[in-house]
Structure 1
Amino acid sequence: MLQEQRLSPNALQRIGRQVEAMCRQLDEPEAVISEFREEMTGHLIMSVEDLLGAGLPEEDALAKALERFGEPQRVTEELESLYRIRKTYARWLFKTALVFGLLGMLVIGSFFAWNEGLHNIVVKRLNHELFADAAAGKIGAEITPELQASLQAAVDDHLSLRSASAVIRDMKEWVPYTFTYPAQLPIDASGNVQRVDGLLFYTLYTGAMIPVGDQGKALSVTLQQWLFSSGYFMLGAVFLFAYWVLFGAWGILNVYSRRPITVFWALMIILFNALGYYAYLKLRQLSIFRPALAKS
């Protein structure tokens, strides 16, 4: 195992002056300049230590490292160009990625929340009211104006309902619906309102059979509801994929604008996205990883 090389105070001062000469020419926020100062100092120290390990005297190693690094003005111009790229493109990529990510989570979250349960709330409430009315004797042998008004209000007040159909019939015999709201909707061969299947939404039948009186009669109600389709889910997946790609591009560009990035860390950011980028930042802060990251 190689013995760690220690630089003299004079060498560290010369490195500090070189870095400060570049920092004075940077037109960036103080946080950026501070980060730049730390990284460039680390670069130069490790470069000198490598040359010392190769057998050069400290003075020669320091001179060669500074020569490799280049003139402060030229280096600063290159760094300003990289920062300008990050400001112009990386910020736009990051904001766009966040927008797509939020849209994707909203779409997919609403898909599962609605299709897996929320759409049933209206149906359960209406069925509860109808069962209560039947038990109280408010529903007789025909569809009363009050019952019609109740079904109409349910459809009009809830975007989740497309139509409501009802009939009072013998529980063992099927008969066509005598009431359908809205009345102008097309009816299929079975007497139900025709289904509508679209790109983002489709319709689903839900029904209830509510006993009426003691004559073997029942109120048969069928509701047609709107549900999110697989196309809606795929739209959310596209939004999340766009977020994944844009965030990965932002992470790689943001890292590269500060120092070269290895294929390993580029793949980590692409595959694990925010977790990969966070892991890079945390490991970068540990001194044990800095040489490997800086030489990448």
Structure 2
Amino acid sequence: MMKTMSLTTESTRRITEYVDQLCRLMKEPAAEINDFREEMTANLISGVLEHMHTGINEQQAVTMALSQFGEAGEVKRELEKIYTVKRRFAAGVLRSALTLLVLSAICLGLIIGVWNERTVAKFTEDAYQMVGQELSTPGTTSLSQPLQEKLKAWVEDTWGVKGISVERAYYQKNASPRLFMYAADPEAEQWLNYFRSPHMESEGEGDSLPKSHFFIHTRILSKAGHGHSATEQPQTIDENSFIVSVATTYFNYTFFYSLGLFLLGGYCLLFTVWAGMNAYYEGKGNIGWIALFLLTNIIGYGLYLLSRGSKRRGAVAL
């Protein structure tokens, strides 16, 4: 204000008209236009005063200061370039942050949380329900042909299911406990043979642990029952006790959990950069806000927006 008062009314009018003309050409939010107005006015006044210190009269100093910035149309084009680059960069940072957030949600939520923890376990329950009623009949030594076909079709048509094995938990010596087994590929058969029921005697097969892929592993999930019982292990092992094992695919916990956390960290960092840029362009990019954005993410940015809005309402009231 002291610099404005040092100029005559005519000089102040010329500067104000020039800045207003530039502001009318801008297509930015009102907050950015106001910030630009204040900064441009201060720069012009400073330029006028510098020229006046060299001995130039005030009106000539104003003319020289305005000419240094150029015609309004030229300044507009330069401003458009600056704001376009800023908007594109900020939008690119935000898009990248949201992309990392979505990928992190896929790794931690869909792959680890939904598939590995819920869907895979559901396969064993489904298989148990399919064979439970038929195996509740004492003396059953095999599954009916319709049920076998149903289980084969279930394995073939269900993504993630690679094989199924049904065994009696109690069996006579020299008798095979396995009532039924079907594997979609040799790898699934190898895994089913390796992870046999602890009640089965070793027959010399599956003595070595099958190899597994890095990203996707094979898991054998078993459910034991006694007739229609849903308990994990029958209390009494008799001719009605059976075990259903399903070979399913699941994703590498260590890899996808680490990847999900890494992507989430990248999102937090990029979001902090985007929020910090916005605060900086609005003249509030101090370390306190940056730390809040980094630690609390969108909550901190929401608090920043509330703080900015309350300050503007207070300024209008004054």
Is 1:38 equivalent to 2:38 in the alignment?
no
Matched residues in 2 for 1:21 and 1:158: separation?
68
Is 1:225 equivalent to 2:227 in the alignment?
no
Shift of 1:237: 2.0
Deviations along 1:186-226, one digit per CA (max 9) or x if unpaired, are 536746476664433323222233457x9725443211222
| Distance change >3 Å, CA 132–CA 232, structure 1 → 2 | same
Structure 2: unaligned runs, 5 residues or longer: 51-64, 197-205, 228-236
2:214 aligned to 199, 214, 221, which one?
199
Deviations along 1:216-243, one digit per CA (max 9) or x if unpaired, are 2544321122223221222222222222
State the match for 1:56 in structure 2: none
Matched residues in 1 for 2:142 and 2:301: separation?
67
**Which stretch of structure 1 is more off in the superposition, 146-155 or 14-23?**
14-23
| Distance change >3 Å, CA 277–CA 215, structure 1 → 2 | closer
| Distance change >3 Å, CA 278–CA 195, structure 1 → 2 | farther
Q: Secondary structure at the match of 2:310?
A: coil
Q: Secondary structure at the match of 1:102?
A: helix
Q: Secondary structure at the match of 1:285?
A: helix
Matched residues in 2 for 1:216 and 1:103: separation?
49
Q: Secondary structure at the match of 1:225?
A: strand
Matched residues in 1 for 2:297 and 2:238: separation?
66
CA contact (8 A) 1:195 1:203 kept: no
**Which stretch of structure 1 is more off in the superposition, 71-80 or 218-227?**
71-80
Map residues 118-157 of structure 1 onto 2, 5 A cutoff: 118-135=119-136, 137=137, 140-157=140-157
CA contact (8 A) 1:265 1:280 kept: yes
One-letter amino acid matched to 1:129: M
1:278 aligned to 295, 298, 302, which one?
302
Q: Secondary structure at the match of 2:243?
A: strand
Q: Secondary structure at the match of 1:286?
A: helix
State the match for 1:268 in structure 2: 292
| Distance change >3 Å, CA 210–CA 63, structure 1 → 2 | closer
Deviations along 1:15-63, one digit per CA (max 9) or x if unpaired, are 8645413313x4x43xx15223333456699x8xxxxxxxxxxxxxx95
Q: Percent identity?
A: 19
Matched residues in 1 for 2:312 and 2:283: separation?
17
Matched residues in 1 for 2:96 and 2:16: separation?
39
Paired residues in the alignment total 265
Matched residues in 2 for 1:290 and 1:66: separation?
33
Deviations along 1:64-120, one digit per CA (max 9) or x if unpaired, are 69869x759379577555423312311111112112212211221112123332333
Matched residues in 2 for 1:288 and 1:36: separation?
13
Map residues 27-176 of structure 1 onto 2, 5 A cutoff: 28-29=26-27, 32-40=28-36, 73=69, 80=80, 82-110=82-110, 111-135=112-136, 137=137, 140-168=140-168, 170=170
CA contact (8 A) 2:216 2:252 kept: yes
One-letter amino acid matched to 1:266: I
CA contact (8 A) 2:280 2:286 kept: no
Matched residues in 2 for 1:226 and 1:273: separation?
35
Query: TM-score normalised to the size of structure 1?
Result: 0.68
| Distance change >3 Å, CA 113–CA 226, structure 1 → 2 | same
Query: TM-score normalised to the size of structure 2?
Result: 0.64
Matched residues in 2 for 1:210 and 1:191: separation?
18
Matched residues in 2 for 1:237 and 1:215: separation?
48
Matched residues in 2 for 1:191 and 1:101: separation?
38
**Which stretch of structure 1 is more off in the superposition, 147-156 or 101-110?**
147-156
Map residues 186-265 of structure 1 onto 2, 5 A cutoff: 186-187=189-190, 190=194, 192=196, 197-211=212-226, 216-230=239-253, 231-259=255-283, 261-265=285-289
**Which stretch of structure 1 is more off in the superposition, 258-267 or 188-197?**
188-197
Structure 1: unaligned runs, 5 residues or longer: 48-61, 292-296
Higher alpha-carbon Rg: 2
Matched residues in 1 for 2:165 and 2:286: separation?
65
